[in-house]
Structure 1
Amino acid sequence: MAAEMYLGQQVRVCCLKDRVGSEVGKKLGQVGVVSDMRVVDGKGIGLIVRFNDQSQTWFFLEELEPAFQLH
């Protein structure tokens, strides 16, 4: 079960369900910030994640995990 995510949250790309042949595959393991939400596949929720290089793409909830930074 995917954790609850919210706008502005830092997340890590932990796995990819598909689309691995593109630039998205390079995001595996990277940390970004949830910038928006959208409906995907006609019923599911996807999260748009912005990365430090200012690129952004969407991910299924199951592909993301909260990224916690130690202080």
Structure 2
Amino acid sequence: MAMEIGQKVKICRLRDRLSGQMVEQIKKNPVGTIAEYKMTDGSGVGVIVKFDSGLATWFFEDEIEVVN
């Protein structure tokens, strides 16, 4: 997947690391904008996604899909 800062993405999978409150906010509006890259586990790269609500958190590549 080619991910670029500023690109709109939809969250298609949520992992257990998020709080219940964050999950509910994301489910209401799962589309956000890639704000920056994040090293995840020393070998992987994730992205920090910022939502219109002001919430921002990071995701692995397999948790997001590009919105056209």
| TM-score computed with the length of structure 1 as normaliser | 0.79
| DSSP-derived class of the 2:36 partner | strand
Partner of 2:64: 64
Partner deviation per Cα, 1:12-57 (whole Å, 9 max, x = no partner) = 000124325x144232461000000010012110100000011100
What is the distance in 2 between the residues matched to 1:18 and 1:6?
Answer: 25
CA RMSD of aligned residues (A): 1.6
Letter in 2 for 1:30: P
Q: Which runs of 5+ in 2 are unaligned?
A: none
Contact 1:38 1:45 (C-alpha < 8 Å) held by counterparts: yes
Q: How does 1:10-21 map to 2 (within 5 A)?
A: 10-20=8-18
Give the structure with the higher percent helix.
2
- Whether 1:50 aligns to 2:60 is no
Identity over aligned pairs, percent = 37
| TM-score computed with the length of structure 2 as normaliser | 0.82
Pairs aligned (count): 65
Shift of 1:60: 0.2
Contact 1:10 1:31 (C-alpha < 8 Å) held by counterparts: yes
What is the distance in 2 between the residues matched to 1:14 and 1:4?
Answer: 16
Contact 1:24 1:57 (C-alpha < 8 Å) held by counterparts: no
